[in-house]
Protein backbone atom coordinates (compact mmCIF):
# COMPACT_ATOMS: atom_id res chain seq x y z
CA UNK A 1 0.00 0.00 0.00
CA UNK A 2 2.91 2.35 0.79
CA UNK A 3 4.32 1.77 -2.70
CA UNK A 4 1.00 2.70 -4.32
CA UNK A 5 0.79 5.91 -2.25
CA UNK A 6 4.35 6.84 -3.17
CA UNK A 7 3.64 6.19 -6.85
CA UNK A 8 0.49 8.32 -6.74
CA UNK A 9 2.33 11.13 -4.97
CA UNK A 10 5.06 10.97 -7.62
CA UNK A 11 2.42 11.26 -10.34
CA UNK A 12 0.95 14.34 -8.69
CA UNK A 13 4.42 15.85 -8.30
CA UNK A 14 5.09 15.40 -12.01
CA UNK A 15 1.68 16.87 -12.77
CA UNK A 16 2.64 20.02 -10.82
CA UNK A 17 5.91 20.14 -12.77
CA UNK A 18 3.99 20.12 -16.07
CA UNK A 19 1.75 22.97 -14.92
CA UNK A 20 4.78 25.20 -14.39
CA UNK A 21 5.17 27.38 -17.54
CA UNK A 22 8.93 27.55 -17.00
CA UNK A 23 9.10 23.75 -17.38
CA UNK A 24 6.98 23.43 -20.53
CA UNK A 25 8.31 20.27 -22.16
CA UNK A 26 7.93 20.11 -25.95
CA UNK A 27 10.53 17.52 -26.93
CA UNK A 28 12.39 14.60 -25.42
CA UNK A 29 15.53 16.77 -25.23
CA UNK A 30 13.96 19.49 -23.03
CA UNK A 31 14.92 19.94 -19.39
CA UNK A 32 13.06 17.51 -17.05
CA UNK A 33 11.67 15.60 -20.07
CA UNK A 34 13.21 12.39 -18.73
CA UNK A 35 11.21 12.82 -15.51
CA UNK A 36 7.92 12.96 -17.40
CA UNK A 37 8.10 11.01 -20.68
CA UNK A 38 7.51 7.32 -20.00
CA UNK A 39 6.40 7.93 -16.40
CA UNK A 40 2.88 7.85 -14.96
CA UNK A 41 1.52 11.35 -14.47
CA UNK A 42 -1.79 12.44 -12.92
CA UNK A 43 -3.42 14.70 -15.53
CA UNK A 44 -6.56 16.80 -15.33
CA UNK A 45 -9.30 15.24 -17.46
CA UNK A 46 -10.14 18.71 -18.75
CA UNK A 47 -6.64 19.06 -20.22
CA UNK A 48 -7.05 15.98 -22.43
CA UNK A 49 -8.68 16.22 -25.87
CA UNK A 50 -10.19 13.27 -27.73
CA UNK A 51 -8.11 11.61 -30.44
CA UNK A 52 -9.42 12.23 -33.99
CA UNK A 53 -7.38 9.21 -35.12
CA UNK A 54 -9.17 6.82 -32.75
CA UNK A 55 -10.05 3.66 -34.71
CA UNK A 56 -12.87 2.69 -32.34
CA UNK A 57 -16.20 4.11 -33.50
CA UNK A 58 -18.69 2.55 -31.08
CA UNK A 59 -18.79 1.90 -27.34
CA UNK A 60 -21.03 -0.50 -25.45
CA UNK A 61 -22.82 1.67 -22.89
CA UNK A 62 -23.45 -1.16 -20.43
CA UNK A 63 -19.79 -2.25 -20.54
CA UNK A 64 -18.78 1.39 -20.06
CA UNK A 65 -20.94 1.67 -16.93
CA UNK A 66 -19.44 -1.56 -15.57
CA UNK A 67 -15.93 -0.18 -16.14
CA UNK A 68 -16.93 3.09 -14.43
CA UNK A 69 -18.18 1.12 -11.42
CA UNK A 70 -14.88 -0.79 -11.28
CA UNK A 71 -12.86 2.43 -11.49
CA UNK A 72 -14.97 3.94 -8.70
CA UNK A 73 -14.06 1.00 -6.46
CA UNK A 74 -10.45 0.30 -7.48
CA UNK A 75 -9.28 3.38 -9.39
CA UNK A 76 -7.75 3.41 -12.89
CA UNK A 77 -5.42 0.39 -12.78
CA UNK A 78 -3.99 0.77 -16.29
CA UNK A 79 -2.94 4.35 -17.18
CA UNK A 80 -4.08 5.88 -20.46
CA UNK A 81 -1.57 7.14 -23.04
CA UNK A 82 -1.54 10.75 -24.26
CA UNK A 83 0.67 12.93 -26.42
CA UNK A 84 1.60 16.50 -25.54
CA UNK A 85 0.10 19.20 -27.77
CA UNK A 86 1.10 22.35 -25.91
CA UNK A 87 1.33 23.82 -22.43
CA UNK A 88 -1.00 21.70 -20.23
CA UNK A 89 -2.71 20.40 -23.39
CA UNK A 90 -2.80 16.71 -24.30
CA UNK A 91 -4.46 14.40 -26.78
CA UNK A 92 -5.60 10.87 -26.09
CA UNK A 93 -3.63 8.16 -27.90
CA UNK A 94 -5.16 5.07 -26.25
CA UNK A 95 -7.47 4.32 -23.34
CA UNK A 96 -10.64 6.05 -24.48
CA UNK A 97 -12.92 3.66 -22.56
CA UNK A 98 -11.02 4.39 -19.30
CA UNK A 99 -11.13 8.10 -20.13
CA UNK A 100 -14.89 8.06 -20.78
CA UNK A 101 -15.62 5.92 -17.71
CA UNK A 102 -13.57 8.26 -15.48
CA UNK A 103 -15.55 11.26 -16.74
CA UNK A 104 -18.76 9.32 -16.20
CA UNK A 105 -18.14 9.04 -12.44
CA UNK A 106 -16.89 12.62 -12.15
CA UNK A 107 -13.15 12.09 -11.59
CA UNK A 108 -10.96 15.19 -11.90
CA UNK A 109 -7.69 13.46 -12.84
CA UNK A 110 -6.50 10.26 -14.49
CA UNK A 111 -3.10 8.51 -14.53
CA UNK A 112 -1.43 8.78 -17.93
CA UNK A 113 1.74 8.00 -19.83
CA UNK A 114 2.95 11.04 -21.80
CA UNK A 115 4.45 10.67 -25.25
CA UNK A 116 5.73 13.33 -27.62
CA UNK A 117 4.72 12.57 -31.20
CA UNK A 118 3.58 14.21 -34.42
CA UNK A 119 0.21 13.49 -36.03
CA UNK A 120 1.41 10.55 -38.11
CA UNK A 121 3.21 8.95 -35.17
CA UNK A 122 0.11 9.51 -33.04
CA UNK A 123 -2.10 7.83 -35.62
CA UNK A 124 0.25 4.87 -35.84
CA UNK A 125 0.48 4.52 -32.06
CA UNK A 126 -3.31 4.73 -31.68
CA UNK A 127 -3.91 2.15 -34.40
CA UNK A 128 -1.24 -0.30 -33.27
CA UNK A 129 -2.17 -0.09 -29.58
CA UNK A 130 -5.88 -0.48 -30.29
CA UNK A 131 -5.35 -3.44 -32.64
CA UNK A 132 -3.73 -5.26 -29.74
CA UNK A 133 -6.77 -4.77 -27.50
CA UNK A 134 -9.06 -7.77 -27.04
CA UNK A 135 -12.33 -5.84 -27.03
CA UNK A 136 -12.18 -4.51 -30.60
CA UNK A 137 -14.58 -6.21 -33.01
CA UNK A 138 -13.16 -7.84 -36.19
CA UNK A 139 -14.30 -5.02 -38.48
CA UNK A 140 -12.67 -2.36 -36.27
CA UNK A 141 -9.43 -4.34 -36.40
CA UNK A 142 -9.72 -4.74 -40.18
CA UNK A 143 -10.30 -0.99 -40.62
CA UNK A 144 -7.28 -0.26 -38.42
CA UNK A 145 -5.11 -2.52 -40.58
CA UNK A 146 -6.44 -0.79 -43.68
CA UNK A 147 -5.62 2.65 -42.26
CA UNK A 148 -2.08 1.55 -41.39
CA UNK A 149 -1.64 0.46 -45.00
CA UNK A 150 -3.25 3.52 -46.59
CA UNK A 151 -2.32 6.36 -44.21
CA UNK A 152 0.97 5.20 -42.70
CA UNK A 153 2.01 3.47 -45.95
CA UNK A 154 2.97 0.22 -44.23
CA UNK A 155 3.29 -3.02 -46.15
CA UNK A 156 1.67 -6.15 -44.71
CA UNK A 157 5.14 -7.43 -43.78
CA UNK A 158 5.96 -4.20 -41.87
CA UNK A 159 2.57 -4.26 -40.20
CA UNK A 160 3.14 -7.87 -39.16
CA UNK A 161 6.29 -6.75 -37.29
CA UNK A 162 4.58 -3.73 -35.68
CA UNK A 163 1.52 -5.54 -34.33
CA UNK A 164 3.09 -8.95 -33.74
CA UNK A 165 0.62 -10.82 -35.95
CA UNK A 166 1.22 -13.25 -38.81
CA UNK A 167 0.75 -11.83 -42.28
CA UNK A 168 -1.95 -14.46 -42.95
CA UNK A 169 -3.90 -13.21 -39.90
CA UNK A 170 -3.75 -9.63 -41.20
CA UNK A 171 -4.89 -10.80 -44.66
CA UNK A 172 -7.86 -12.65 -43.15
CA UNK A 173 -9.00 -9.49 -41.33
CA UNK A 174 -8.60 -7.30 -44.43
CA UNK A 175 -10.69 -9.72 -46.50
CA UNK A 176 -13.64 -9.09 -44.17
CA UNK A 177 -13.95 -5.60 -45.69
CA UNK A 178 -15.06 -7.25 -48.96
CA UNK A 179 -18.27 -8.43 -47.29
CA UNK A 180 -21.55 -6.62 -47.87
CA UNK A 181 -21.83 -3.62 -45.46
CA UNK A 182 -24.94 -5.17 -43.83
CA UNK A 183 -22.93 -8.28 -42.94
CA UNK A 184 -20.06 -6.12 -41.64
CA UNK A 185 -22.53 -4.32 -39.38
CA UNK A 186 -23.89 -7.66 -38.17
CA UNK A 187 -20.38 -8.73 -37.23
CA UNK A 188 -19.74 -5.45 -35.39
CA UNK A 189 -22.99 -5.88 -33.45
CA UNK A 190 -22.12 -9.46 -32.54
CA UNK A 191 -24.87 -11.20 -34.56
CA UNK A 192 -22.28 -13.32 -36.36
CA UNK A 193 -18.66 -14.21 -35.64
CA UNK A 194 -15.52 -13.65 -37.65
CA UNK A 195 -15.69 -17.36 -38.57
CA UNK A 196 -19.08 -16.81 -40.22
CA UNK A 197 -17.66 -13.80 -42.06
CA UNK A 198 -14.65 -15.75 -43.33
CA UNK A 199 -16.98 -18.43 -44.71
CA UNK A 200 -19.15 -15.85 -46.48
CA UNK A 201 -16.13 -14.20 -48.14
CA UNK A 202 -15.91 -17.25 -50.40
CA UNK A 203 -19.26 -16.28 -51.94
CA UNK A 204 -18.61 -13.71 -54.66
CA UNK A 205 -22.16 -12.40 -55.23
CA UNK A 206 -23.15 -10.08 -52.37
CA UNK A 207 -26.87 -10.82 -52.83
CA UNK A 208 -26.08 -14.50 -52.19
CA UNK A 209 -23.95 -13.51 -49.18
CA UNK A 210 -26.99 -11.71 -47.77
CA UNK A 211 -29.27 -14.71 -48.38
CA UNK A 212 -26.92 -16.97 -46.41
CA UNK A 213 -26.47 -14.28 -43.73
CA UNK A 214 -30.25 -14.16 -43.18
CA UNK A 215 -30.31 -17.96 -42.94
CA UNK A 216 -27.51 -17.85 -40.34
CA UNK A 217 -29.59 -15.47 -38.22
CA UNK A 218 -32.95 -17.23 -38.67
CA UNK A 219 -31.63 -20.78 -38.20
CA UNK A 220 -28.84 -19.87 -35.75
CA UNK A 221 -26.29 -21.67 -37.92
CA UNK A 222 -22.85 -22.47 -36.55
CA UNK A 223 -19.67 -21.61 -38.43
CA UNK A 224 -19.33 -25.22 -39.60
CA UNK A 225 -22.91 -25.30 -40.88
CA UNK A 226 -22.30 -22.04 -42.74
CA UNK A 227 -19.10 -23.44 -44.28
CA UNK A 228 -21.05 -26.54 -45.39
CA UNK A 229 -23.65 -24.38 -47.17
CA UNK A 230 -20.94 -22.41 -48.97
CA UNK A 231 -19.13 -25.63 -49.98
CA UNK A 232 -22.39 -27.09 -51.27
CA UNK A 233 -22.99 -24.02 -53.42
CA UNK A 234 -19.48 -24.16 -54.85
CA UNK A 235 -19.78 -27.90 -55.60
CA UNK A 236 -23.11 -27.33 -57.37
CA UNK A 237 -21.61 -24.53 -59.43
CA UNK A 238 -18.59 -26.68 -60.29
CA UNK A 239 -20.84 -29.59 -61.28
CA UNK A 240 -22.94 -27.36 -63.51
CA UNK A 241 -19.84 -25.95 -65.16
CA UNK A 242 -18.48 -29.46 -65.69
CA UNK A 243 -21.67 -30.55 -67.42
CA UNK A 244 -21.50 -27.59 -69.74
CA UNK A 245 -17.90 -28.37 -70.63
CA UNK A 246 -18.62 -32.08 -71.17
CA UNK A 247 -20.51 -31.61 -74.47
CA UNK A 248 -19.50 -34.55 -76.73
CA UNK A 249 -17.69 -33.98 -80.00
CA UNK A 250 -20.65 -35.06 -82.16
CA UNK A 251 -22.93 -32.59 -80.37
CA UNK A 252 -20.43 -29.74 -80.73
CA UNK A 253 -20.11 -30.36 -84.48
CA UNK A 254 -23.87 -30.61 -84.92
CA UNK A 255 -24.44 -27.45 -82.91
CA UNK A 256 -22.12 -25.49 -85.17
CA UNK A 257 -23.61 -26.94 -88.38
CA UNK A 258 -27.21 -26.37 -87.35
CA UNK A 259 -26.51 -22.81 -86.24
CA UNK A 260 -25.09 -22.04 -89.67
CA UNK A 261 -27.86 -23.90 -91.53
CA UNK A 262 -30.75 -22.31 -89.63
CA UNK A 263 -29.08 -18.92 -89.12
CA UNK A 264 -29.92 -19.13 -85.40
CA UNK A 265 -27.83 -19.77 -82.31
CA UNK A 266 -28.70 -23.42 -81.71
CA UNK A 267 -27.83 -24.96 -78.32
CA UNK A 268 -27.48 -28.64 -77.49
CA UNK A 269 -27.35 -30.18 -74.02
CA UNK A 270 -26.26 -33.77 -73.38
CA UNK A 271 -26.45 -35.49 -69.96
CA UNK A 272 -24.11 -38.18 -68.66
CA UNK A 273 -26.45 -40.99 -69.79
CA UNK A 274 -26.45 -39.73 -73.40
CA UNK A 275 -29.88 -38.13 -73.34
CA UNK A 276 -30.22 -34.47 -74.25
CA UNK A 277 -32.14 -31.70 -75.89
CA UNK A 278 -31.83 -29.47 -78.92
CA UNK A 279 -32.96 -25.84 -78.60
CA UNK A 280 -33.52 -23.60 -81.63
CA UNK A 281 -34.42 -20.02 -80.60
CA UNK A 282 -36.53 -17.68 -82.76
CA UNK A 283 -37.30 -13.99 -82.48
CA UNK A 284 -40.79 -13.77 -84.02
CA UNK A 285 -43.57 -15.73 -85.74
CA UNK A 286 -42.03 -14.94 -89.09
CA UNK A 287 -38.58 -16.09 -87.88
CA UNK A 288 -40.13 -19.32 -86.57
CA UNK A 289 -41.77 -20.01 -89.97
CA UNK A 290 -38.46 -19.31 -91.70
CA UNK A 291 -36.62 -21.83 -89.48
CA UNK A 292 -39.41 -24.38 -89.94
CA UNK A 293 -39.10 -24.13 -93.74
CA UNK A 294 -35.34 -24.64 -93.42
CA UNK A 295 -35.88 -27.78 -91.37
CA UNK A 296 -38.44 -29.13 -93.85
CA UNK A 297 -36.21 -28.23 -96.75
CA UNK A 298 -38.83 -25.89 -98.20
CA UNK A 299 -37.98 -22.71 -100.09
Residue closest to 277 by CA, chosen among 245, 240, 237, 247: 247
Cα–Cα distance measured from residue 19 to residue 89, given in angstroms and rounded to the nearest whole number? 10
Half-sphere exposure of 102 (CA within 13 A, CB side): 24
Residue closest to 138 by CA, chosen among 180, 172, 87: 172
Dihedral angle of Cα 102, 103, 105, 110, to the nearest 10 degrees: 40
Q: Say whether 96 is catalytic.
A: yes
Indicate which residue of 42, 66, 89, 96 is catalytic.
96
**Is 184 within 8 Å of 176 (Cβ atoms)?**
yes
User: Positive or negative CA dihedral for 111, 116, 118, 120?
Assistant: negative
How far lies 253's CA from each of 258, 266, 272, in Å? 9, 11, 18
**Is 86 within 8 Å of 48 (Cβ atoms)?**
no
Cα–Cα distance measured from residue 22 to residue 2, given in angstroms and rounded to the nearest whole number? 31
Cα–Cα distance measured from residue 139 to residue 57, given in angstroms and rounded to the nearest whole number? 11
- At 40 the three-state DSSP class reads strand
Could you give the residue ranges of the DSSP H alpha helices within 202-281? 206-219, 223-245, 249-262
Cα–Cα distance measured from residue 14 to residue 12, given in angstroms and rounded to the nearest whole number? 5
Cite the active site residues.
Answer: 96
Amino acid sequence: MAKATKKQALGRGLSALLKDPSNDIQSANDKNADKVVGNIVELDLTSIAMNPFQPRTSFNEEALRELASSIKELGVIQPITVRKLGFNEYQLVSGERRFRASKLIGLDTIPAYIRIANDQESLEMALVENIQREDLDPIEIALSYQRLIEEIDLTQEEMSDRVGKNRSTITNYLRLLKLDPIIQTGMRDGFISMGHGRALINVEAQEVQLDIYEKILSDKLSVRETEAIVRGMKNTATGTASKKKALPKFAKEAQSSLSNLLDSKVSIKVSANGKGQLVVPFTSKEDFQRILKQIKGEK
